[in-house]
Amino acid sequence: MKPIIAPSVLASDFANLQSEVEMLNKSQADWLHVDVMDGRFVPNISFGFPVMEAIKRYAQKPLDVHLMIVEPEQYIERFRTAGADTITVHSEACTHLHRTVQQIQASGAKAGVALNPHTPVHLLEDIIAELDLVLIMSVNPGFGGQKFIENTYRKVEALKDLIIQRNSQALIEIDGGVNQDNARLLLEKGADALVAGSFVFSAADPLQTIAALKSSAK
């Protein structure tokens, strides 16, 4: 099976957002990854509803929204209204993760849970059966362009085992430092979806780079 490729709009040229989104429409990308940062959960601020709505106006592919914010439960319906197809919250940001996942699904969006590099996969064992997606952070969240953390491979293996053991339908998404060198091994270990920011947008030919990621085989 071919991987799902989700370029991160965070690395695009915000002054030319329409043409960047149109480039992604034409590409082999499956989803548009949208990184929302609040300056509290992570030490950086990206963008909020107005920018996301602008992306949605032109996007012809699902929006995969990654919330790096505290108290995400306060904004689920607004992100859904702004056009989110999948809403991923951080396990570290949710005291009542199960309730928040139910809230996301009730909004009509698919529900994802993200894990920081230090957060073990087994923490999800009592919720994995209800998740649509698990996002494994392969860098510390907050910035694009960071170096991939090698321990991620072990986490993908552990998560794949857990998913099989609990008969879960959850997809495994990897976010941070993904490139042509690590894509294949990530897929071999069980990843389904790859986020790529700087690797795509700093490439001379983003369309070709997306196509190359898409054809990375397991």
Q: Specify the DSSP class assigned to residue 35.
A: E
38 lies in the binding site for Zn ion (CB under 5 A): no
Q: Specify the DSSP class assigned to residue 63.
A: E
CB of 75 to ligand DX5, least distance (A): 17
Reading the block at residue 176, the tokens are: 């941070």
Of 97 and 193, nearer to ligand DX5 (C-beta) is 193
Q: How many CA atoms lie within 13 A of 163 on its CB side?
A: 19
Of residues 5, 10, 36, 63, which one binds ligand DX5 by CB under 6 A? 10
Report whether 121 contacts 115 (CB < 8 A): yes
Q: Which of 30, 35, 38, 132 is catalytic?
A: 35
Determine whether 175 is an active site residue: yes
Of 91 and 166, nearer to ligand DX5 (C-beta) is 91
Q: Beta-carbon neighbour count of residue 116 at 10 Å? A: 17
35 lies in the binding site for Zn ion (CB under 5 A): yes
Q: How far is CA 90 from the centre of its chain?
A: 11
Mark the binding-site residues, compressed into ranges. 8, 33, 35, 66, 142-145, 175-177, 197-198
112 lies in the binding site for ligand DX5 (CB under 6 A): no
72 lies in the binding site for ligand DX5 (CB under 6 A): no
DSSP string, 70-97: SSGGGTHHHHHHTT-SEEEEEGGG-TTH
- From the list 16-24, 90-98, 149-157, 196-204, the region that binds ligand DX5 by CB under 6 A is 196-204
Mark the binding-site residues for a divalent metal cation, compressed into ranges. 33, 35, 66, 175
CB of 47 to Zn ion, least distance (A): 13
Determine whether 64 is an active site residue: no
Cα distance from N-terminal residue to C-terminal residue, the chain? 8
Of residues 48, 146, 149, 207, which one binds ligand DX5 by CB under 6 A? 146
Size of the site for ligand DX5 (CB under 6 A): 22
Cα gap 48→82, rounded to integer Å: 10
206 lies in the binding site for ligand DX5 (CB under 6 A): no
Work out what residue 186 binds among Zn ion, ligand DX5, none; the CB cut-off runs from 5 to 8 Å by kind: none
Q: Beta-carbon neighbour count of residue 185 at 10 Å? A: 15
Cα gap 67→38, rounded to integer Å: 9
Reading the block at residue 155, the tokens are: 């986490």
Q: Which amino acids are annotated catalytic?
A: 35, 175
In the complex, the residues that contact ligand DX5 under the rule CB under 6 A are: 8, 10-11, 33, 35, 66, 139, 141-146, 175-178, 195-199
